[in-house]
Amino acid sequence: MPSPESNRFCVSDLLTSAGIRLNLTSTDRDSVLAELCAAVPELQDHPEKRAALLKALRDREELHSTGIGDGVALPHARTALSGLVSQPVIVFGRHTRGIAFGAIDRKPVHLFFLLVTTSVTQHLQILARISRLLQGPVLRQKLLTAESPGQILSHIRDLEQTM
C-alpha cells in the first residue's frame, strides 16, 4: 500500500502540455538540457532564471549522470532551487534517436523528465514518484510511441490512478 507521502505529488498534475516536447533535436547532453530548460513554462520570459537552472543541471550532470537506464534520464539540480519557480514543475522531452547521456546502462536516453522544485522534500518525493512510475516497461513504451502531449499526460495519469 502506498504511503500518504508518495501520493502527495502526482506527476500528471505537475506536467502540462506546454511542458512537453515530443521532438527534441539536440545532439548532445548539454544542448538537450538547454532545450528542456527552454520548455519550463514559468521561465519562458526569464532568461536569467533559465541560465541559472541550466548551470545547476550541468553541474549536477558533472557530478553523476541522471540517466537512470532503460532510455530514461531525470535531469534535476542537486538540490531544490528556491526562487526559480513558484511551484514544482516537470518538463517531459522525447528524443527519437536518443542521446549519449552517461546513463548507468550506457545506453542512449530517449525519455527525459526535467524536475524543478522549490524544496528538498518536494524534490525527493517527486523523484521517487517518477522513478516508481517508470520502473516497468509499459509506461516507457507508451511514452515512446505517444503522438501528442495529451496522450503523454493520459498515459501517466492512467498509471498513477492504479498506484
Residue 26 has pLDDT above 90, yes or no: yes
Would residue 2 count as lying in a domain? no
Q: Is 155 a known active-site residue?
A: no
Q: Which domain holds residue 92?
A: 9-162
pLDDT at 23 (0 to 100): 96
Indicate which CATH number applies to the domain containing 30.
3.40.930.10
And the C-alpha cell for 58?
550541468
Q: CA 71 to CA 97: how far, in whole Å? A: 11
Give the helix/strand (H/E) hosting 69: strand 67-69
Q: How far is CA 9 from CA 14, 85, 128, in A?
A: 8, 16, 10
pLDDT at 80 (0 to 100): 66
Would residue 124 count as lying in a domain? yes
pLDDT at 1 (0 to 100): 34
Residue 136's CB is within 10 A of a number of other CB atoms, namely 11
Mean pLDDT for 130-142 is 93
CA atoms within 13 A on the CB side of 140: 16
Catalytic pick among 76, 95, 123, 155: 76
Would residue 86 count as lying in a domain? yes
Mean pLDDT for 107-119 is 94
Residue 115's CB is within 10 A of a number of other CB atoms, namely 23
Q: How far is CA 4 from CA 11, 15, 18, 125, in A?
A: 15, 21, 29, 11
Would residue 25 count as lying in a domain? yes
pLDDT digits (tens, 9 = 90+) for 49-106: 999 999 999 999 999 999 999 999 999 987 767 778 888 999 999 999 999 999 999 9
Would residue 70 count as lying in a domain? yes
Would residue 77 count as lying in a domain? yes
Q: CA 150 to CA 35: how far, in whole Å? A: 20
Q: How many domains does the chain have?
A: 1
Would residue 16 count as lying in a domain? yes
pLDDT digits (tens, 9 = 90+) for 31-51: 999 999 999 998 989 999 999
Beta strand 89-99 with 109-116: parallel, antiparallel or unpaired? antiparallel
Would residue 4 count as lying in a domain? no
DSSP one-letter code for 82? T
